[in-house]
Amino acid sequence: MREGPVTCPVCLGGQCCGGGNKRCIQRDPQPSHIAGILDSYGGVRTCVDHKHNLKLSVRYDEFLCVVPDKLVHEPIAWGDIPFVIALAHLAVDNWCDAHERDNDPAIREAITLYRLRKLEQDQESFDPSGIAFT
């Protein structure tokens, strides 16, 4: 269910159509950037925020990988979230390719762990046998 005013001419009180629609009343007029954050264990999370706030989401042992030349308006529509996450993962892949020969051992370790984790968890479809029931 959407939050905010019910008088939005696009959403009509239902699920928000997102900031991609210029008529949405919840649309943030200032565009946001998409970034992937690579942690020291090889995990990746996606962050969508304004350029000056992206560095506030990064801890001291993490690396910020911003998607170049792609701006989005918040809120992100529900159907667009998988594409935003895929763009963040692509930015991390490109960052890893560009920094794989760095002399910093923390960067090399994060890249190695990310690639190992990617080999382990890279599946294209839902696998119900991978869920453990307790």
- Domain spans in the chain, listed from the N-terminal domain onward: 1-29, 32-123
DSSP letter assigned to residue 101: T
CA distance linking residue 74 with residue 18, whole number of Å: 7
21: CB partners within 8 A, 6+ apart = 10, 27, 77
Question: What average pLDDT does the segment 60-79 reach?
Answer: 90
Q: What share of the chain is helix, strand, coil (3-state, %, to 5)?
A: 35, 15, 45
Looking at the DSSP bridge assignments, the partners of residue 65 are: 36
The chain-wide mean pLDDT, for the chain, equals 83
Six-digit token pair at 72?
């989005």
CA distance linking residue 90 with residue 48, whole number of Å: 15
pLDDT attached to residue 20: 73
Is pLDDT above 80 for 5?
no
**Count of positions (residues) in the chain:** 134
Query: Considering the entire predicted model, what is its pTM?
Result: 0.80
pLDDT attached to residue 48: 94
Tell me which of 129 and 50 has the higher pLDDT: 50
pLDDT attached to residue 49: 93
CA distance linking residue 45 with residue 9, whole number of Å: 33
